[in-house]
Structure 1
Amino acid sequence: MLGDPARRNQKLRCTYHQDRGHMTQNCRALKQHLEDLVATGHLREYIDHDKEVAELGNPLPEANIEHPPWLIINVIHGTAAQESEESLKEEIAKAAQIQRIMSVEPASKKVHTVPKSPLCTISFTSKDLEDIQHPHTDALIIIVGIGKRFDVKRVLVDHGSAADILYYDLFRKLGLSEQHLTPAAAPLVGFNSQPEWPLGRIVLPVVAGTKTHQIEFLVINTPFPYNAILGRSWIHRMEAVPSTYH
Structure 2
Amino acid sequence: MTQNCRALKQHLEDLVAARYLRDYIDQDKEVTEPKNPPPEPNVEHPPWLVINVIHGTATQESEETLKEEIAKAAQTQQVMSVELASKKVRIVPKSPLCTISFTRKDLEGIQHPHIDALIITVGIGKRFEVKRVLVDQGSAADILYYDLFRKLGLSEQHLTPTAAPLVGFNSQPEWPLGRIVLPVVAGTKTLQIEFLVINTPSPYNAILGRPWIHQIEAVPSTYHQLIRFPTEHGVEQISGDQVASKHCFMAALKAK
> Are 1:199 and 2:177 an aligned pair?
yes
Task: Quote the residue 2:216 is aligned against.
Answer: 238
What SS is found at the alignment partner of 2:129?
strand
Q: How many residues align?
A: 130
Higher-strand-fraction structure: 2
Amino acid at match of 2:133: V
Structure with larger Rg: 1
Higher-helix-fraction structure: 2
In the TM superposition, what is the alpha-carbon distance from 1:119 to its structure 2 partner?
2.7
Amino acid at match of 1:129: L
> Are 1:175 and 2:153 an aligned pair?
yes
Task: Quote the residue 2:122 is aligned against.
Answer: 144
In the TM superposition, what is the alpha-carbon distance from 1:236 to its structure 2 partner?
0.7
Amino acid at match of 1:134: H
Question: Which runs of 5 or more structure 2 residues have no equivalent in the other structure?
Answer: 1-94, 225-256
> Are 1:129 and 2:107 an aligned pair?
yes
Q: TM-score under structure 2 normalisation?
A: 0.50
> Are 1:214 and 2:192 an aligned pair?
yes
Counterpart mapping for 1:82-97 below 5 A: none
* Separation of aligned partners in 1, 2:175 and 2:184: 23
What SS is found at the alignment partner of 1:142?
strand
Amino acid at match of 2:214: H
Counterpart mapping for 1:147-166 below 5 A: 147-166=125-144
> Residue deviations 1:98-156, cap 9 Å, x none?
xxxxxxxxxxxxxxxxxxx9631111001110111111000000000000110000000
* Separation of aligned partners in 2, 1:185 and 1:124: 40
RMSD: 1.2
Task: Quote the residue 1:226 is aligned against.
Answer: 204
* Separation of aligned partners in 1, 2:144 and 2:171: 20
Deviation >6 Å, runs of 4+ = none
Amino acid at match of 2:166: L
* Separation of aligned partners in 2, 1:121 and 1:132: 23
Task: Quote the residue 1:95 is aligned against.
Answer: none
Question: Which runs of 5 or more structure 1 residues have no equivalent in the other structure?
Answer: 1-116
